[in-house]
Structure 1
C-alpha cells in the first residue's frame, strides 16, 4: 500500500481480479471439491491478505465513499452489496453468495469471511463503526410498514413470532414449532421486526420476550424459551453470516439493550427510543437463548428451567455473551459455562445470578406481569441508560463487535466446526450427502 487511496484501490482491484481468474481455472473440477483444493485455498488466502492490507489503511475513506460522506445509513447487508459493486472482489457478489447457498456449509468456499474482513475494518474505526451501528439501530422497513396496523389492532403475526400489546406491555412470543424455537435467518428477521414494533409503539411501556407452547412430542403443551442456533440449518448452509450472526447481535438484541437510534428529526426524543425488557424462561434457554437473556432487565424463570452456552460443542463464538456474562457471574464460572458447556439450573446458586425470580410453572404469568408493572415506572429508562454507560459503553460494544465479525466469520468455515456439525448430522439423520443440500 502506498497510502494513496485511488492508486491502492486500483492496485487491489487488479490483484483481486487476477485471483478470481485463477479460481476460475479450477472450476473444471467438481464444484464441491474446490474448497478442499490447496490451490484454491492459497488463492483465497493471498486475496484476503490483499483485502486486509487495503482495508487497514483505507477503511474510513472507503466507508465514506459508500455512504456519501456518512450521509447515508446502510445496514450491513446493503453496505456489503455496495462495497462489492464499488470494488468487485472485495466482498462476494450476490451471484457468488447464491452459488454458495446451494451447498452444505463444509462444501462452501467461505466467501462470507471476506464480509467479516470488511465489517471488522469498519467497526474498529470509531467514526465509521459508530455510524454503522447507528444504521443498524434504525427501525427496519418491515416494522415501519406494519406499525400502523400494530398501533390500531395491538397484534401482528410475523409467522415465527407474534407481538401483542396488552395493558401497555408488548408481548413478543417465539413460535418456531419446527425446532423448539431455535433461531435461523427467518426467526432473527421476525424478532427484529417485533422488537422494533414494541419500541416504536408509544402505548407500550415494557417488552416481554417468551417462548410459545410447543407441539413437539417431548414438550407438547409446554412452553420453551429457546434451543439456540438451528445447527441443522447451519450444516445445510442456511445460516448466513450477515442475515443471522451479524444481524442478530447488531439488530434485535442490540435494540433490546440500547433501543432505537434517535429520530434524526428530533434527537432529544431519545427516552422514547428504548424500553425495559422482561425475559420469561420456560423449560430451557440454550446457547442463543441465554445470550438473549443477558440483554434483559429482568429475568423470570420456572424453577425447573436450565441454561447453557454450548459454544465449544458447537464450535462458535456465543455472540456477545463473552462480553456480558462475566458481569453477572464470576469470571471463572463464565469460563466454565463457555468452555465446558456447564448447565446452570434456575434454582442453583449460579442460576440466582442469571434470574431475578424463580417460580413454579403455574406462577410464571403472574410473576412476568408483576415484573413488567415494576419496570413500567418512568424512572427505569433513564436509570437503565446510566447503568449501560457504566457497564457497556457504546465504544466498548463497537470494539467487541469488530473482533466478533472477524472471529465468527472464520469460525463458521473452520474444520473443527465442520467435524462437529457432521457428527451432529450423522447422529440425527444417519448419513452425509456431499455436495448440494439434501
Structure 2
C-alpha cells in the first residue's frame, strides 16, 4: 500500500511554487518599503503561549490546535497563528528596549489547525503577517492598513474591499459585553452549544458564529459603535481620517468582530468579490491589540497586525486570471554528441552556471532530436550543440530557439558569448 500525503496538506510542485515565490517576494518588498523587518520563530511552542496569547475561549485553542506531549513531558503545540509567537520573542528578546520604536516586524511560514479541509482552508497553511509593537498612535493603524492594501495592489488583485470596525477600549468593551449578555441571554437555549458557552466567557464571539448567523437576534444585536466612550470614538475617527487622507477606500461594518480575544480598538478584514471566487470572501484579517504583551510577561505595550494565507491569495489571483510574472525559462541547454563532446559538455555546463547562466544538459544518453525536444520543453532560450567534430575544431553551434537562427562560436569565447546574450555582460 502506497503512503499518501496527510489530509489537509499539499505538495507544492515546480510550476506552482514559482507563484508562491512571487507572492512572498512582493509582500517582502512592500514590507521593506514600509521599514518592516523579518522575524522567524519556531514552528512549535509551549502550549501555554497560545492558551494565554490567543485565548482559551477561542475555537483555535479549544478545537483546532495540534498539541502533543514531548519526551520530557512538556505540552507542545504546532503554531496555529503567528502573532503570539512574535510577541513571545518580542518579550523574551527585550525588543521593546531597542532605540528605534515602534518595533515593526513581518513573518511568513506554515501554521497548523485541525479543521475540516476545504478550498482555501488547509490543516497546514502558510501565513504572511505583520506586527507593529510599541505605538498607540492611530497613524500606525493607517500605516498597517495601507501596507496590506499595497501588497494586494502590487499583486494586481481587483475588487478588494477594506472593512473596518472599532471594538473600543476596555471600558467600552465591558459596556458592550453586558449589553450582549442582556440581549442574548433570554433566548440563548436556541443557539448552539458553543454560543451558550460563550455567553458568559466572551459574548462578542457569538456575533462571529457560523451556525447561528441567520438567527433573528443576530440582526438586532447591540452595536459596539453605540457603546464607544469618547476616547474610543476619537481614536476611530482619527483612523478613518488618516485613511481618507491616504485615499484608501473602506467600509465600516459594526458587526465585524475578530475571533481572537486580544483585539481592542481597530479591527479589520480585507474581502474580495471576484467571479469564480464565490461570495465575498475574507482574504486577510487583523486589528489592534492591548494586553497581549502583558499576558506573555512583558511591559504594557500596544500593538497592531494582520495575517493572510498565501493559499487564499493564490485562489483570488487565479479566479481573477491575473497575469503573473512567473518564468521557468532556461537560459541554455547543452546538446552533446560523442563521448569526448559529452565530457566537454559537463565542463561547459559548470562554467555556464558559475557565470550565472541557468543551464542544463541530457543525462539519459538521448539522441540529438530528443535532446532538442527536451530543450524546447524546458523553454530554453538558447541551445548549444557540441559534437566531436565541433570539439576538434574548437567550435560550438549556438541556436536561438525563438528565431531559429544559429551561428558557430569559438569554444574559448563561448561563456562570454552566452553572458552577452543572456545578461548583457561585457
- TM-score (norm. length: structure 1): 0.23
Structure with greater helix share of residues: 1
Relative to its length, the structure with more strand (as a share) is 2
TM-score normalised to structure 2 length: 0.23
Higher Cα radius of gyration: 2
